Amino acid sequence: MSESNASTRHQTLIGVGAIAVAAFMAWGAASISSTAGYSGVGPNFLPWVVAVVLLVCGAWLIWEARTGGFRVMETPSGAARADWVAFAWLSAGVLANAALITTIGFVLSCSLCFVLAVRGLRLSEGKPAGDVKQTVIDLVTGLLISLPVFWMFTKLLAINLPGVTDGGWI
């Protein structure tokens, strides 16, 4: 198989994948109540919008792939192979956040996610992961990002996020 045919096939699969995600979103949106809420818009409105936009994008990607391929593509940047160590650090951050958010609360789990993700990003750039001092700086930075987000959601928007204290301030 020529490189051109393989490229067209791979590009078409990207469009098919987008349509599959759109179908999954539409299936999920169909199961959400359509009872109108604020301003006559129900809770299933946004999932339907996302599903339709993904469907249009997927169809457009397939059309692009079938009529000459993705046009004016630059040579990809980055390494020729994946950096699995950096990927593992990033994945550990996201998975730890998901696993611990109800146990240690939003603020601490997001801060931990930040620390692990930043370590992975540094490694992906070929930089040192960081010593204890850098880890403490990353943790403080994570806290400075997650605390205002937590307060905005819980205090201003009245959306319940898992907290550490019963008072709801952390």
Q: Is residue 75 part of a domain?
A: no
pLDDT digits (tens, 9 = 90+) for 26-38: 998 888 877 766 6
Tokens of 165: 């204290």
Q: Is residue 76 part of a domain?
A: no
Rounded alpha-carbon distances, angstroms, from residue 31 to 26, 35, 45, 100: 9, 12, 12, 28
Same domain, 149 and 91: yes
Same domain, 90 and 41: no
**Tokens 């397939």, residue?**
62
Q: On the CB side of 60, how many CA atoms lie within 13 Å of its CA? A: 7
Residue 164 has pLDDT above 80, yes or no: no
Specify the amino acid at residue 125: E
Same domain, 51 and 98: no
Same domain, 90 and 61: no
Same domain, 96 and 33: no
CA-CA distance, 30 to 24, in Å (whole number)? 10
CA-CA distance, 151 to 149, in Å (whole number)? 5
Same domain, 89 and 37: no
Whether the model clears a pTM of 0.75, i.e. scores above it, the answer is: no
pLDDT digits (tens, 9 = 90+) for 99-153: 998 888 899 999 999 999 999 999 888 888 889 999 999 999 999 999 999 988 8
Same domain, 46 and 89: no
Q: Which residue has the higher pLDDT, 169 or 60?
A: 60
Same domain, 91 and 152: yes
CA-CA distance, 13 to 69, in Å (whole number)? 12
Length of the chain: 170
Same domain, 54 and 89: no
Q: What is the DSSP letter of 76?
A: P
Same domain, 93 and 130: yes
Which residues span the domain enclosing 92? 84-156
CA-CA distance, 10 to 12, in Å (whole number)? 5
Same domain, 46 and 98: no
